[in-house]
Amino acid sequence: MVHFTTEEKSAITSLWAKVNVEVAGGEILGRLLVVYPWTQRFFDSFGNLSSETAIMGNPKVKAHGKQVLNSFGNAVKHMDDLKGTFSHLSELHCDRLHVDPENFKLLGNVLVCVLALKFGKEFTPPVQAADQKVVAGVAAALAHKYH
Amino acid sequence: MVLSPADKSNVQAAWAKVGGNAGEYGAEALERMFLSFPTTKTYFPHFDLAHGSAQVKGHGKKVGDALTKAVGSLDDLAGALSALSDLHAHKLRVDPVNFKLLSHCLLVTLASHNPAEFTPAIHASLDKFLATVSTVLTSKYR
């Protein structure tokens, strides 16, 4: 189980409060599809993913990115029980969506890169370390119910 | 995985913006890696890893300079990095999983310092470049 110190929780929540979930979600999911194109395999129904411009401008990518990031926001509110919080989503990703948990790690790292992009110097090494713990915790929680 | 002409051009553009800061960015990436992925510290028991450590700065410069050399030799990375590849295979023997961790922290460092040079396309090309460098450095492991 992931344990967060008071300082880590504080670093994570204060940064998260400044994230524009609407915009960042699309940016993060879009970049996942651009940087790791094989992840597009899960999104055949999303229409045009043929180029960086098409992906980053795709309305379905933006909408789904927002949904994913809202879910992450939920993680930030429940850092002490990620496995419980993501139990249902874990079953969904295994049984219905058939997503290899490796993809959760890829998404987590893209999320961290986008935070670095947006927050610059404020995204110090200790702040990054705290956020790496959250994304690793979410990835593990989402994989927890796999069978 | 092959670096396309567009990838090479993206990497060169991004690295040009790094300018003379490659050493500083190398050190910052190492610091980020040691904090985010504590298992990586096991390769540096002989180092002072506190913030501002002269040893980390020195090592960061080695990493930065090696990457600068790689950026200048994108058409022959295996050749340019051959000596470093031997070193990592026979002497350092850093487990291959760790190259991804340092590569990620290098991306984070670049993103935080030069956001304008971290478009999705450049992000992708840099990720490919670092993965290719990592492959070269582990290519003689067995």
Chain A positions touching B28 (Cβ under 8 A) are 125
Residue B1 has pLDDT above 90, yes or no: no
Residues A114, A122: Cα–Cα separation, whole Å: 13
Chain B positions touching A123 (Cβ under 8 A) are 108, 112
Lookup: tokens for A55: 């992906």
Measured between CA atoms, how close is A32 to chain B, in angstroms? 9
Measured between CA atoms, how close is B52 to chain A, in angstroms? 12
Chain A positions touching B105 (Cβ under 8 A) are 128
Share of chain B above pLDDT 70, in %: 100
Q: Could you report the per-residue pLDDT of A73-85, keeping only the tens digit for each? A: 999 999 999 999 9
B125 C-beta neighbours (distance < 10 Å), count:
23
Half-sphere exposure of A4 toward its Cβ, with a 13 Å CA cutoff?
A: 28
Chain B positions touching A61 (Cβ under 8 A) are none
Q: Could you report the per-residue pLDDT of B33-72, keeping only the tens digit for each? A: 999 999 999 999 999 999 999 999 999 999 999 999 999 9
Read off the pLDDT of each residue in A82-90 and give the average, rounded to a whole number.
96
Read off the pLDDT of each residue in A21-47 and give the average, rounded to a whole number.
95
Residue A134 has pLDDT above 80, yes or no: yes
Q: Nearest residue on chain B to A55, judged by CA atoms?
A: B120
Tell whether B4 is within 8 A of chain A (Cβ). Answer: no
Coil, strand or helix at A100: coil
- In whole angstroms, how far apart are CA A97 and each of A2, A43, A101, A142? 25, 11, 11, 12
How many cross-chain Cβ pairs, A to B, lie less than 8 Å apart? 61
Instruction: Tokens 């760790």: give the residue.
Output: B98
ipTM of the complex as predicted: 0.88
For position A119, what pLDDT does the model report?
97
Give pTM, 2 decimals.
0.93
Q: Could you report the per-residue pLDDT of B83-128, keeping only the tens digit for each? A: 999 999 999 999 999 999 999 999 999 999 999 999 999 999 999 9
- As to burial, measured by CB atoms within 10 angstroms (0-12 exposed, 13-18 middle, 19+ buried), residue B40 is buried
Tell whether B124 is within 8 A of chain A (Cβ). Answer: yes
For position A2, what pLDDT does the model report?
83
Residues B29, B101: Cα–Cα separation, whole Å: 10
For position B21, what pLDDT does the model report?
98
Cβ within 8 Å, pair A35-B124: yes
Chain A positions touching B123 (Cβ under 8 A) are 31, 34-35, 113
Q: Which of A35, A56, A116 sits opposite B108 (nearest CB)?
A: A116
Residue A1 has pLDDT above 80, yes or no: no
For position B55, what pLDDT does the model report?
98
Q: Which of A30, A123, A132 sits opposite B120 (nearest CB)?
A: A30
Q: Are A110 and A28 in contact (CB under 8 A)?
A: yes
Measured between CA atoms, how close is A55 to chain B, in angstroms? 10
Residues in Cβ contact with B95 at an 8 Å cutoff, skipping those fewer than 6 apart: none
Q: Could you report the per-residue pLDDT of A109-131, keeping only the tens digit for each? A: 999 999 999 999 999 999 999 99
